[in-house]
Structure 1
Amino acid sequence: MAVYLIADVTVTDEAWIAEYATNVHDIAHKHGGKYLSRSANISTVEGEPCKADMIALVEFPDMAALHAFINDPEYKAFRESRIKGSISNLHVIDDSDAAKTIPYLPKG
């Protein structure tokens, strides 16, 4: 079952961004990750405005692949620099339908 990593990031120190942006895609890809978006073009159409500077949406084939990415030793230094230079919230959702009414999604 596919899972989606949603990262909302508020930058507090830009020093980490260039190296992270250049290298992390390949590490995620090694684990089956596919970036669907990594955007700073954020607008709110309902509710409280988003405070993040950037949101990334990355698809992984399953939860094991996502955890392999997060725990990859090659990712460790990039992860630490992101944590040090930002307020990051990482969320994971699967591709299921909690209401069980969309026929093409697995029932959640």
Structure 2
Amino acid sequence: MAYYSVLAVTPTSEDWIPAYIGPANALVAKHGGRYIARTSSHERLEGEGEDAALRIIIEWPSREAATAFMSDPDYIPHLKARTEGSDSHHFLIEGKDDLA
């Protein structure tokens, strides 16, 4: 079953970004993930709150693949840089419909 990482990221510093993109791309692919969206082009259709600068959606083949990516020793320093240099919210969503 597919899982989806849904992130809202607002950089507080851009220093980490150039060193993050290449390794993150490679590690997402290594764990079977694929970016569906990485964009600042988004709009709120409902609700209130602060808007994130970036919205990111990654499709994973399984929950295990997503959690293996997050705990990969090669990703940990990049995760630390991202979380220290941004306001980030990351949700892992199972690709199923509980209301069907």
CA distance in 2, matches of 1:20, 1:34: 16
CA distance in 2, matches of 1:40, 1:81: 20
Equivalent in the alignment of 2:74: 74
* Unmatched segments (≥5 aa) in structure 2: none
Residue pairs, 1:7-18, within 5 angstroms: 7-18=7-18
Aligned residues with identical type, % of pairs: 34
Normalised TM-score (structure 1): 0.87
- 1:47, distance to aligned residue in structure 2 (A): 1.8
Normalised TM-score (structure 2): 0.94
Equivalent in the alignment of 1:28: 28
Deviations 1:28-82 (A, max 9, x none): 1100000001111121122225521101100000000001100001101110100
Say whether the 8 Å CA contact 1:6–1:90 is kept in structure 2: yes
CA distance in 2, matches of 1:64, 1:50: 31
- The runs of at least 4 consecutive aligned structure 1 residues that moved more than 6 Å come to none
1:96 aligns with 2:96: yes
- 1:22, distance to aligned residue in structure 2 (A): 2.2
Say whether the 8 Å CA contact 1:43–1:50 is kept in structure 2: no
CA distance in 2, matches of 1:49, 1:89: 13
- The structure, 1 or 2, with the larger RCO (C-alpha pairs under 8 Å, 6+ apart) is 2
Say whether the 8 Å CA contact 1:42–1:50 is kept in structure 2: no
Bigger Rg over Cα: 1
CA distance in 1, matches of 2:41, 2:50: 11
Does the residue aligned with 2:15 lie in a helix, a strand or coil? helix
CA distance in 1, matches of 2:81, 2:49: 26
CA distance in 1, matches of 2:32, 2:22: 17
User: Counterpart of 1:41 in structure 2: which amino acid?
Assistant: S
Equivalent in the alignment of 2:38: 38
